[in-house]
Structure 1
Amino acid sequence: MKPITPSTIARPFARYSHAMEVPEGSRLVLCSGQLGMDADKGIPADVEGQARLCFQNIGKILAEAGMDFSNLVRINAYVTGREHMAGYMKVRDEFTQDPPPASTLMIVSGFTREEFVVEVEVIAAG
């Protein structure tokens, strides 16, 4: 995969690529949004704990497809407030590799259950 960051536009605000080129013939895995819940349905109270579980769950999904975090080409993430952005990005950066994938982070009004503060979905290619 090849990151695309034209010199004619502003650099990314954080650790992400403006775009990722996927080579012809690659398999794609499109992962549904993952919430910060463990296998026993436990939900951490903080955004970093929830984001870590989101990415751990994504890692397990990627492994089932024979992929890992190096295969990520796109991340879409959603948090319920600006106060959760830094914690989410800290955890995202622990799981992503170089070059970082394309990424979007949005603030939303909420999720299916009030205690959730972050949701992460990805696209991987390999």
Structure 2
Amino acid sequence: MKALNPDSIAPPFAAYSHGIDVTARRLVATSGQLGLAADGSIPEGAEAQADICLANIDAILAEAGLDRTHIIRLNAFVTGREHMAGYMVARDRYLAGVPVLPASTLVIVSGFTRPEFVVEIEVLAAESA
């Protein structure tokens, strides 16, 4: 896996790569994960919800024998600009120490299935050939 951050364009302004080059042996795609804990509770705040989303993603990847170092694309959705900072704190903590940062997109959306959800995260992971 190789990060693609050409010198001819502005560098990423957060914890992500502009692109990822990977020859994949297999791919794992997750559904969007919401901040729903195993006990059915939903914490308040984007950071706490993002932590649950990312923990769920870790569990899904582990089921496939992969981990966060295999993530090549991370897409996140928040319901307002006020939730961006909390999400980014959780994301940066989650990606700390990952040798190749994934490509990433963050989008503001009008809402999710229940109004208490403020963050949803999905990933694409690849096992290199």
TM-score, normalised to structure 1's length? 0.96
- Displaced runs of 4 or more, over 4 A: none
1:45 aligns with 2:37: no
1:12 aligns with 2:20: no
Secondary structure in structure 2 of the residue aligned to 1:32: coil
Offset of residue 72 of structure 1: 0.5
Any unmatched runs of 5+ in structure 2?
Answer: none
Q: How many residues align?
A: 125
Offset of residue 48 of structure 1: 0.8
Report sequence identity in percent: 59
Name the residue aligned to 2:105.
Answer: 104
1:81-120 Cα distance to aligned partner (Å, 9 max, x none): 1111111011111112122100000000000000000000
1:8-58 Cα distance to aligned partner (Å, 9 max, x none): 1111121100001111x4210011100000111110011111000000000
CA RMSD of aligned residues (A): 0.8
Q: Give the letter for the 1:22 counterpart.
A: V
TM-score, normalised to structure 2's length? 0.94
Any unmatched runs of 5+ in structure 1?
Answer: none
Secondary structure in structure 2 of the residue aligned to 1:40: coil
1:1-126 aligned within 5 A:
1-23=1-23, 25-96=24-95, 97-126=98-127
